[in-house]
Amino acid sequence: MDIIFKKINSIEHFDIICNEIINNMYTRSDEKISEIVENNVIQTAKQELRTIISTNKYDINMIIEHLNTKDWNQEKLIAFLDLLKKKLSDIVLMSIYHHNCSYGEVITSFDWLLKLVLGSSESKTSQYPILQLITSSINFNGEANTMIYDLDKEMVLRMINSLERVIT
């Protein structure tokens, strides 16, 4: 973090880099950022920030106290802390996802739709419902993945039975 605070003089570049570090703490950096500063500097700053946050138990007051002991430009530090305060809940969530991803892919969200499929031919007309399940997940590298599953009535019943067995 020292190099970010001490070597980057432009406030505009500093804000861009801080946003990159905080918003993508566990994912790859945007390639446009490498025009401002080397990618290894960003990765090192992300690692240092993760260490600072975790050693201070995700407590924003302890983090602020820790960062105030550094000999950094006050204007930059205030801007950085404001951004950190706004994004701390997202950082906590991403750290949980990141931790869980070390054991495999983690579902971050899901949605479902109920559809009615209509079909006809000369001999008959059919109608049957389909449950469409849409899941979003991330893996250890922070790569997002979206999967769409179409489940007919029989598959939904088997899924419900499987879930009930897990619960009991």
Predicted TM-score (pTM) of this structure: 0.65
Mean pLDDT, to the nearest integer, of 144-152?
Answer: 90
Note the pLDDT tens digit of each residue in 26-81.
Answer: 877 666 776 778 888 888 999 999 999 999 988 999 999 999 999 999 999 999 99
Note the pLDDT tens digit of each residue in 2-17.
Answer: 888 888 888 888 998 9
R_g of the chain computed on alpha carbons: 23
Residues 6+ apart with CB under 8 A from 138: 97, 101, 105, 106, 108, 144, 145
Count of alpha carbons within 13 Å of 151, Cβ hemisphere only? 18
Give me the residue label for tokens 């739709």: 113
